[in-house]
Amino acid sequence: MSLYSEINEQPQRIKALLTSQRKTVERVAAEIRKSGVQSVFLAARGTSDNAGRYAQYLWGARNGLPLALAAPSLFTYYKQPPNVKNALVVGISQSGKSPDIVSVLEECRRQGNLTLAVTNEPNSPLAQTSDFVLDIQAGAEKAVAATKTYTTELMAVAMLSAALSENKKMWQDLAKLPKWMSEALTLDDFIAQAAQRYRYMDRAVVLGRGFNYCSAFEWALKLKELTYVYAEPYSAADFAHGPIAMLDSGSPVFAFAPKGKVFDSMLEMLRRLREQISAELIVISNDKRALSLAQTPLKIPVDAPEWLSPLIGILPAQLFAYHLTRAKGYDTEQPRSIRKVTETK
């Protein structure tokens, strides 16, 4: 088992998760509707925090649920947790072992809120302190950099959204997801060659917006922890409010720009970066206009809906980080200074 093999097994993991966990997800959704929750309070760290950003957009847009990201230190070091009422409190953690995430769910459950654990370890402390558990069933993930646990966390979020809305079209789209993900993985050879162009890169900007705000953070994280590139993620909207000034000609900019509600704003930003600044663009998109602006275009399936694009577009991003790590001569399996499980307090 290696990082490369774990990246490539994701379509199969997503397909299996959809088959095995749909009834569980629908049962959890029924209990959530019955409880009358009015908001979501979510605790996570690292890659799982990026899955939480996806939930923030998806559950807000499709399910009308405002979502707040918890500040776990208020529960641990400060011992002054906020008063959380009528909320679904969600903990997302691959290992389910991080004490600060567990403490958020313990306290919010004590306050009378419904709690849900999304984890790859159904017998973990996080699962044991939760009313409901969604087992993402990613299997053993040996590589330090999370890949399949991230996409299965996103899938659990997407499935719960479909179940909460009782939307048949969403379930139909989810059934097509393994095929779309497999198509995205066919970019492997192209990405392996393209990564050589960036082997001396030491800094970069990563842009996304809307559903792919989470993707910008996740791609930047993979670049940081595997290639040691100083990669900063931004909403394309926030980037225009100042940080764009740090770019000059040839500055590398990675961007997610799939078709959807925010596409026009992303396209405007990409044009500005290419035509006015002469930035070096690496673009993941399913629209020809965005791809035509990129020095390195990474095309994802044209018919994929925007709400599922984070699960598809992150695969070429993962492959890019993997191949760039190799091009730089670093270890893809054991990045320096980090461990597989980080138990923050």
Least Cα distance to 275 among 287, 255, 293 occurs for 293
67-69 β-sheet, strand order: 67-69, 39-44, 87-93, 114-119, 132-135
Residue 340 has pLDDT above 60, yes or no: no
Q: How far is CA 72 from CA 42, 269, 293, 308, in A?
A: 10, 34, 41, 28
pTM: 0.96
Q: How many CB atoms lie within 10 A of CB 345?
A: 10
- The CA distance from 96 to 241, in Å, is 37
- Cβ 121 vs Cβ 96: under 8 Å: yes
Q: CATH number of the domain at 3-175, please?
A: 3.40.50.10490
How does pLDDT run across 51-92, given as a tens digit for each residue?
A: 999 999 999 999 999 999 999 999 999 999 999 999 999 999
- The CA distance from 26 to 261, in Å, is 28
Residue 235 has pLDDT above 80, yes or no: yes
How does pLDDT run across 287-316, given as a tens digit for each residue?
A: 999 999 999 999 999 999 999 999 999 999
Residue 338 has pLDDT above 80, yes or no: no
Q: Write phi, then psi, for 235 (nearest 5 degrees).
A: -65, 140
Least Cα distance to 45 among 128, 153, 156 occurs for 153
Residue 233 has pLDDT above 80, yes or no: yes
How does pLDDT run across 108-128, given as a tens digit for each residue?
A: 999 999 999 999 999 999 999
- The CA distance from 69 to 107, in Å, is 15
Mean pLDDT over 267-271 rounds to 98
Q: Write phi, then psi, for 88 (nearest 5 degrees).
A: -90, 120
What is the per-residue pLDDT for 167? 95
As given in the structure block, the two tokens for residue 56 are 């923030």
Query: CA 20, 23, 24: angle at the middle one, nearest 5?
Result: 85
- The CA distance from 119 to 260, in Å, is 30
Mean pLDDT over 144-172 rounds to 97
Q: Residue 336's pLDDT band (boundaries 50, 70, 90)?
A: confident
Residue 232 has pLDDT above 80, yes or no: yes
Percentage of residues in the chain having pLDDT higher than 70: 97
Q: Where in the chain is the domain with CATH 3.40.50.10490?
A: 3-175, 186-327
Task: Give residue 211's Cα distance to chain centre.
Answer: 9
Mean pLDDT over 34-52 rounds to 95
- The CA distance from 148 to 139, in Å, is 9
Which CATH architecture is the domain 186-327 placed in?
3-Layer(aba) Sandwich (3.40)
